[in-house]
Structure 1
Amino acid sequence: MESRSKILVTGANGLLGMNTVLELLNQGFLVKAFVRDPKNCLRINHDNLEYFVGDITTVENLEKAMIESQFVIHIAALVDPKLVDYKVFHRVNVQATKYVVEAAIKCKVKKLIYVSTSNVFGYGSIDDLGNELKPMMAPFNKMHYAISKFHAQQYVLSKSDVLDVTVVNPTFMIGAYDSKPSSGRIIQNCLYNRLVLCPSGGKNFICVKDVSIGIVNAMQFGLTGECYVLANENLSFYEFYKKVRSHVKTSFRIVKLPNWLLHAIGYVGSLIRLLRIKTSISIENVRTLSVNNYYSNDKARAELFMKFTPIDEGIHDAVVWFERKNKVDK
């Protein structure tokens, strides 16, 4: 893979998209950043970077964007947990992904990297970690976002006989440039509140910089039709919040939430959603907070030659970035 290859990155204005663009530029690639709304994009001035404004649900936009692109990294996705209609997720996460694949085949792209999520695979405990061989599990198999990513991933893999495709499945990403914000809300919660409510479960946390490196490594080393979970530290939420507390200037109290109270809040949220009122609270969403959503990174280490950074570095990067952004916004 030549460093002067031109690479199209969809979703370039998000947390992972921005970090991936920066990593590609750092390694000398030519990058075309596909963004939907330039007003919500952190603009970077770089000789090797150009922007393409368009809609990934439009085939014509995708084909035009892929002209002269040797590689495509498809990151763009709808994540919003407040949305109650699966059709919206299907249109952006499944149908648009089909358009990306079809355009890549038509434009004779050398390789497509599809960014999915670890939750299309089964999670596990510290003693029996989730991996690429475990089937999707509840409560994620009842969540619109995860379901849509599963179907999109299946479609991408079904085309591996006519297109060189590799899938990466990151866990919960932490780091700088979370402009929307997405996963960074968990950091913001600690920065701006004196009291942080802590659920009983846990997640696998990974520095977003490591995921961007994993994507670049997958372009070179990822096998056709294979999936790679990009994961790092398995931590309970309480352990994670303690780490965050060591990086922020103001102290906050961590209050553990019992499962019965968490689930009661979830049922109330689900009732509200039945009224078609947007809220991120639902029984499915809160159940994800009471399981140990842990994964192994063995395959990525072995086949993508990955090395992983302590999550403390990602937390530090996110804290510093949000603090600076807050000063600018004021």
Structure 2
Amino acid sequence: MNTNSNSKKTVLVTGGAGFIAVHCILQLLNVGYRVRATLRDLSRETAVRAMLREGGVEAGERLTFIQADLSTDANWDEAVKGCSYVLHVASPTPKLNFKHEDEMIIPAREGVLRVLRASRDAGISRVVLTSAIGAIVYGHPRQTAPYDETVWTDTTHAPAYQKSKTLAEKAAWEFMAREGSSLELSVVNPAAVMGPVLGPDYSHSIYLVKNLLTGKMAGCPKINACFVDVRDVADLHLRAMIDPKAKGERFIATGGESIWLVEVAKILKANLGEAAHKVKAMQLPNMVLRIASLKDSMVKSMVPLLGIPMNLTSAKAINTLGWSPRSAEKAIVATAESLIRLNLL
């Protein structure tokens, strides 16, 4: 990437305080772009700059902030003004105690459409949307072959958060087909995001490592998952932003094949020595989880996943965009090391 020409370009990153977003901002600044980040609450600016410093970058005036919320039209036109690209990373986070699934679905879908509309009207060249594998892997008959980008979650059998990611991404593609004009769209669908945390804001998947390290998990449910390092997710966003071949495409981001959660525990024990002494690397019987799910909505959302292979392939991102992700093991170890280093356990 030519950092000299990049310095004349501004990239809007939505949801600028989020785990993936901060890593995207870090990499954009490192290759010379100017960045404007949206925040729902501008008092978060100090925390974002602190996380960037932890990542080795003093952003200075190359980074600016603007208040914008996915649930309202206010400020989106101003947010995209003068930008070349948009990384739409913001999304409502999973709610556990929602009364109706629309509490997640409507903001996710309407938020995507607000950002796309404003981007089209401002002459932005490309939007990269952060979707999720939740828009791919749910509601299918059991399969061992890896899921790829041609597959979509069956929303009649998906939990609310995954349903929101699916419907938001579908709404984005429908908007592009119907009224996208000259705007281009690329989509990144990350697996469970691991990697170095830069402060107390991190994605919900990080809690798996945190709960293992603190001994909060009595063992590992028989759940299968793919993992990816947040640094590689950010790198894939940047590739999808500028590579002509990424136009109109979606890309799964995974650092290799799926593993069972008990393997995550074993990786921590093998790599962290004494720091992993509370980790319980044993498989929990499915019945234990089923009983716990009666009282815990978080556990309840895991029950449909018990024993189900959730393998994914990133062959498309690797072959089309030259993406080269770290292994799941490296991502998991980096997560643990950063939680320990920043005293976040």
How high is the TM-score relative to the length of structure 2? 0.84
Which of 195, 198, 220 is 1:175 aligned to?
195
Which of 222, 225, 235 is 1:200 aligned to?
222
Which residue of 1 is the match for residue 40 of structure 2? 36
Which of 48, 59, 67 is 2:81 aligned to?
67
Which amino acid is 2:80 matched to? M
Which residue of 2 is the match for residue 225 of structure 1? 248
Which of 288, 302, 306 is 1:285 aligned to?
302
Matched, 1:250 2:273: no
Q: Say if 1:247 and 1:315, in contact at 8 Å, map to a contact too.
A: no
**Aligned equivalents of 1:315 and 1:301: distance in 2?**
21
**Cα deviation 1:138-169 (Å, max 9, x = unaligned):** 8x942111111111111111233422011111
Residues 82, 57 of structure 1: alpha-carbon distance in 2 compared, 3 angstrom cutoff: same
Which of 313, 327, 330 is 1:313 aligned to?
330
Alignment of 1:157-176 (within 5 A): 157-161=173-177, 162=181, 163-176=183-196
**Cα deviation 1:73-117 (Å, max 9, x = unaligned):** 111111224132212112321111111111111111111001101
Alignment of 1:298-309 (within 5 A): 298-309=315-326
**Aligned equivalents of 1:160 and 1:194: distance in 2?**
45
**Cα deviation 1:187-221 (Å, max 9, x = unaligned):** 11122117542011210011111110000000122
Normalized per residue, the structure richer in strand is 1
Question: SS of the residue aligned with 2:93?
Answer: coil
Matched, 1:156 2:172: yes
**Aligned equivalents of 1:201 and 1:133: distance in 2?**
23
Q: Which moved more, 1:86-95 or 1:284-293?
A: 284-293
**Aligned equivalents of 1:141 and 1:132: distance in 2?**
19
Residues 137, 158 of structure 1: alpha-carbon distance in 2 compared, 3 angstrom cutoff: closer
Which residue of 2 is the match for residue 215 of structure 1? 237
**Aligned equivalents of 2:218 and 2:39: distance in 1?**
34
Question: SS of the residue aligned with 1:281?
Answer: helix
How many residue pairs are counted as aligned between the two chains? 317
Residues 290, 13 of structure 1: alpha-carbon distance in 2 compared, 3 angstrom cutoff: farther
Q: Say if 1:59 and 1:103, in contact at 8 Å, map to a contact too.
A: no
Which residue of 2 is the match for residue 186 of structure 1? 208
Which amino acid is 1:164 matched to? E
Residues 196, 110 of structure 1: alpha-carbon distance in 2 compared, 3 angstrom cutoff: same
**Aligned equivalents of 1:194 and 1:134: distance in 2?**
35
Deviation at 1:65, TM superposition (A): 0.9
**Aligned equivalents of 1:244 and 1:250: distance in 2?**
6
Q: Say if 2:194 and 2:205, in contact at 8 Å, map to a contact too.
A: yes
Which residue of 2 is the match for residue 133 of structure 1? 150
Structure 2 gaps, min length 5: 53-57
Which amino acid is 2:71 matched to? T
Deviation at 1:289, TM superposition (A): 4.7
**Aligned equivalents of 1:137 and 1:261: distance in 2?**
28
Deviation at 1:63, TM superposition (A): 1.2
Residues 113, 37 of structure 1: alpha-carbon distance in 2 compared, 3 angstrom cutoff: same
**Aligned equivalents of 2:125 and 2:15: distance in 1?**
20
Structure 1 gaps, min length 5: 270-278
**Aligned equivalents of 2:103 and 2:227: distance in 1?**
28
Q: Say if 2:221 and 2:286, in contact at 8 Å, map to a contact too.
A: yes
User: Alignment RMSD, CA only?
Assistant: 2.4
Deviation at 1:247, TM superposition (A): 3.5
How high is the TM-score relative to the length of structure 1? 0.88
Question: SS of the residue aligned with 2:127?
Answer: strand
**Cα deviation 1:228-270 (Å, max 9, x = unaligned):** 111123211111211122333231222311223322322444x
**Aligned equivalents of 2:250 and 2:228: distance in 1?**
17
**Aligned equivalents of 1:126 and 1:324: distance in 2?**
39
**Aligned equivalents of 1:316 and 1:290: distance in 2?**
24
Residues 194, 77 of structure 1: alpha-carbon distance in 2 compared, 3 angstrom cutoff: closer
Which residue of 2 is the match for residue 323 of structure 1? 340
Residues 89, 235 of structure 1: alpha-carbon distance in 2 compared, 3 angstrom cutoff: same
Which of 16, 22, 25 is 1:18 aligned to?
22
Matched, 1:259 2:286: yes
Which residue of 2 is the match for residue 8 of structure 1? 12
Matched, 1:145 2:167: no
Q: Say if 1:14 and 1:178, in contact at 8 Å, map to a contact too.
A: no
Q: Among all aligned residue pairs of Structure 1 and Structure 2, give the percentage whose two residues are the same amino acid.
A: 21
Question: SS of the residue aligned with 1:254?
Answer: coil
Q: Say if 1:115 and 1:169, in contact at 8 Å, map to a contact too.
A: yes
